[in-house]
């Protein structure tokens, strides 16, 4: 049986993404073959394509951090999983494909009636948000949080989950993202026309209790300036090195950026003010504490089933349009998450599930991962 997958032929721009048709893989012992319904498109995919992400594989490789699909075939020795069952996974690479073989213990059962495209938003974006809020920042109700990129995939997840945690929320965003931030309970700050440090201190008095910074580099220190005494910056990205979906740093410049990142973390613990910079990496924490990852993913699936969270799907592209999807994400200002879908069956499932899911319910109880 033939299947299609997307391959990064070499590091570079969107033009290095190629569509390949080949024989479908066969599951080995302990593996399950999954027929992919939806795969998320994220900034780490672009950074891997550019060759600047710490997890970058050597080309050729298939990108894609998170996916949702249906179990198609079982390898020997697999139990507790049934063919036809809908599952989700965070393979880190390989999700831009029609079929993929994964270890059975890496799969999460997906409750019936959920939209695969929305579930595909949970693995990277919402687990990242939940773990930064509760595992790293350890937020408390009533605290003030500043979210950079508040209308993006992780940003909207932080706002939704931050609202459930009882936080007072502020978010930088482009002008077109202001309505989304407001709808999710945040106060928008236009990063192009406003100084976010001055604006946060104007709005929140002494400053924020926590800032979630995905840009990295010198921007981390600006985020630290937005904190009140005793606050913390959770740093989880280097997207400031991207412009229009292409890297602006390479070689020694990239090493300097990483060195500055490390210096910010160290200096924050040495300088007065008790304002700390805390690093976060979803893949590092997933490997170190897979039990936390499973707990958090399952808790998020339940919140989605209950309608307490509702991922924003910005656009659905066919798998073969992966290049177009990454080009759109690389331009910036995407509201929510871009998702690749495969085949007519997945689109029908998505439409039916969307109609079945109730509107996001208001919640006053914070759901903290165990």
Q: Residue 129 pLDDT > 60, yes or no?
A: yes
- Using H for helix, E for strand and C for coil, what is the string for 322-351? HHHHHHHHHHCCCCEEEEEECHHHHHHHHH
Residue % of the chain over a pLDDT of 90: 75
Residue 261 tokens, joined:
């990142």
Asked if residue 368 belongs to a domain, the reply is no
pLDDT of residue 346: 43
Q: How confident is the model at residue 217 (pLDDT cuts 50, 70, 90)?
A: confident
Same-domain pairing of 309 and 196: no
Q: For the whole model, what pTM was predicted? A: 0.88
- What is the C-alpha separation between 170 and 150, in angstroms, rounded? 8
**80 and 104 Cβ atoms separated by less than 8 Å:** yes
Q: What's the confidence (pLDDT) of residue 360?
A: 35
| 269 and 303 share one domain | no
Residue 218 structural domain: 125-283
- pLDDT of amino acid 55: 86
**Total domains, the chain:** 2
Mean pLDDT on 217-232: 92
Residues 165, 366: Cα–Cα separation, whole Å: 4
Beta bridge partners of 144: 168
Q: Collect all residues with Cβ–Cβ distance below 8 Å to 140 and sequence separation of at least 6.
A: none
Q: Is the confidence at residue 122, as pLDDT, over 70?
A: yes
Report the candidate in 93, 88, 167, 161 with the shortest Cα–Cα distance to residue 123: 88
Is the model's pLDDT at 320 over the cut of 50? yes
Evaluate whether 143 touches 336 at the Cβ level (below 8 Å).
Answer: no
Residue 291 lies in a domain: no
Q: What is the DSSP letter of 362?
A: P
Q: What is the mean pLDDT of the chain?
A: 88
| pLDDT 10s digits, 54-73 | 888 999 999 999 999 999 99
Looking at the fold, whether 48 and 8 belong to one and the same domain comes out as yes
């Amino acid at each position: 049986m033939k299947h299609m997958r997307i391959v990064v032929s070499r590091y570079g721009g969107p033009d290095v993404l190629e569509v390949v048709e080949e024989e479908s893989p066969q599951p080995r012992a302990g593996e399950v073959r999954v027929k992919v319904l939806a795969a998320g498109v994220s900034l780490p995919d672009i950074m891997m394509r550019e060759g600047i992400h710490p997890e970058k594989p050597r080309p050729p490789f298939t990108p894609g951090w998170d996916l949702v699909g249906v179990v198609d075939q079982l390898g020997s020795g697999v139990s507790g999983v049934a063919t036809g069952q809908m599952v989700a996974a965070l393979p880190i690479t390989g999700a831009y494909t029609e079929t993929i073989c994964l270890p059975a213990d890496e799969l999460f059962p997906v409750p019936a009636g959920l939209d695969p495209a929305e579930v595909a938003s949970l693995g990277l974006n919402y687990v990242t948000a939940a773990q930064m809020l509760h595992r790293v920042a350890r937020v408390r109700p009533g605290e003030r949080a500043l979210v950079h990129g508040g209308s993006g995939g992780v940003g909207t997840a932080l706002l939704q989950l931050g609202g459930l945690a009882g936080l007072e929320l502020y978010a930088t965003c482009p002008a077109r993202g202001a309505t989304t931030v407001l709808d999710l309970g945040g106060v928008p700050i236009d990063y192009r026309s406003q100084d976010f440090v001055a604006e946060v201190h104007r709005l929140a008095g002494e400053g924020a209790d926590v800032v979630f910074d995905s840009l990295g580099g010198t921007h981390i220190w600006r985020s630290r300036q937005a904190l009140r005494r005793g606050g913390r910056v959770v740093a989880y990205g280097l997207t400031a090195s991207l412009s229009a979906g292409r890297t602006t740093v390479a070689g020694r410049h990239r090493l300097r950026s990483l060195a500055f990142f490390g210096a910010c973390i160290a200096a924050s613990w040495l300088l007065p003010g008790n304002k700390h910079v805390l690093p976060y990496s979803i893949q590092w924490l997933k490997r170190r504490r897979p039990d936390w990852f499973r707990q958090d993913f399952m808790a998020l699936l339940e919140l989605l089933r209950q309608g307490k969270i509702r991922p924003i799907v910005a656009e659905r592209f066919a798998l073969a349009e992966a290049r177009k999807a990454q080009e759109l994400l690389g331009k910036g200002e995407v509201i929510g998450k871009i998702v690749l879908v495969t085949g007519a069956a997945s689109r029908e499932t998505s439409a039916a599930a969307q109609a079945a899911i109730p509107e996001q319910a208001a919640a006053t109880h914070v759901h903290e991962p165990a």
